[in-house]
Structure 1
Amino acid sequence: MSEVFQGFSGQAFSLRSEKGRFTLPPAFRNAVKLSTVDRKLCLTKHDKWDCLVGFGMNRVEDFETILDREEEAAYKFGRDFDRDTRAMQLHSFETMPFDDSGRFIMPDFVKDLGKIEDALFFQGAGKFFTVWNPAKLYEMGPEMAMPKAACRALEKEALAKGKKK
């Protein structure tokens, strides 16, 4: 019986290597593999927060449904909605291959969009996950208490491992 994509959940942390690569942690790597055809990670800017959104190529199939839902909500509440602009935002993602160990190189312009420096914090969110510069996550409000606590613990652990090398 083959595995089926169940979504992204949990948290993980990655430090940038000396070669400038980050590592997609195992739980996220396996979920991306199940939600894409060619082992490519998709990253784009989150539309509200200073972080990135990650997913596999299969998520693109949901974009029309997302657009329909957002357009309907805008109409219902009397808000403006530019479907073309929102469609362009959804489809403006960058794909990057990752190896069997999950290592990938993030393009500079993607790092700039997410304000990424030397570390990544991954937070599962169902059909996608967020990728944070820990410093940007720590600036968020109390609604992010759990991700911030997980990030602090995982960051401390990763830095301790890094010092042992």
Structure 2
Amino acid sequence: MESFRGRFTNRIDAKGRVSVPAKFRAVTMAQGLNGVICFPPLNPGSFIEGCGPAFSDIVDQMLDRLDPFAPERQSLAAVLIGESAELTFDSDGRVILPETLRNLAGITDEATFVGMGQRFQIWEPKAYDAYYAKALEDAQKYRDLLRSPSAPANPGTGETR
């Protein structure tokens, strides 16, 4: 499966248009969408979440597991679906980032796209640089959480995950 990988910073023009990295466009187009889906983040931070239809379907499935009238589901759906925007690529591979999402993330004249595997994030460049410095430090602490898929689940038992 194609995934969103890498970091790219692009300028935003006066109309709010920004070029989506070609690698990211290829992912969503392989999933059958000539665009991207963007929505506010659930995690703390000033960025925009982005994805293609494959991850959007996963979000829908997660929401469908909740009682349709539960207040938790309604709050999550309001953010993840109600405030989402399906943005279509123009002939130059650009999208218009909605002003509401740009304001939420503090994005003005440049946007940094960061691949996260099945999804991506769009940051104000300086905010991402600050976040990345902390993430790099934290990743050193968390590296023991990563295990090879063929590594034993319980060392010494020979069992695999």
Same fold (TM over 0.5): yes
Which segments of 5 or more consecutive residues in structure 1 lack a partner in the other structure? 72-80, 147-165
Which segments of 5 or more consecutive residues in structure 2 lack a partner in the other structure? 138-161
Q: What is the CA deviation profile of residues 44-96 of structure 1, one whole-angstrom value per residue up to 9, with x for unaligned ones?
A: 11112110011123322112443478x7xxxxxxxxx8122112222131112
RMSD after superposition: 2.5
Distance (Å, rounded) in 2 between the aligned partners of 1:93 and 1:108 = 12
CA contact (8 A) 1:35 1:59 kept: no
The partner residue of 1:45 within 40, 54, 71 is: 40
Query: Which residue is equivalent to 2:100?
Result: 109
Superposition deviation, residue 98 in structure 1: 1.0
CA contact (8 A) 1:54 1:128 kept: yes
- Identity rate of aligned residues, in percent? 24
State whether structure 2 residue 78 is matched by structure 1 residue 88: yes
Distance (Å, rounded) in 2 between the aligned partners of 1:60 and 1:131 = 16
Query: Which residue is equivalent to 1:153?
Result: none
Give the SS at the match of 2:135.
helix
Distance (Å, rounded) in 2 between the aligned partners of 1:28 and 1:130 = 11
Aligned runs of 1:6-155 on 2, under 5 Å? 6-17=2-13, 20-37=16-33, 39-48=34-43, 49-67=45-63, 82-91=72-81, 92-140=83-131, 142-145=133-136
User: Does the C-alpha gap of structure 1 residues 41 and 64 become closer, same or farther in structure 2, counting only changes over 3 Å?
Assistant: closer
Structure 1 runs of 4+ with >4 Å offset: none
CA contact (8 A) 2:35 2:95 kept: no
User: What TM-score, normalized by structure 2, do the two folds share?
Assistant: 0.69
User: Does the C-alpha gap of structure 1 residues 119 and 86 become closer, same or farther in structure 2, counting only changes over 3 Å?
Assistant: same
Distance (Å, rounded) in 1 between the aligned partners of 2:15 and 2:85 = 20
Count of aligned positions: 131
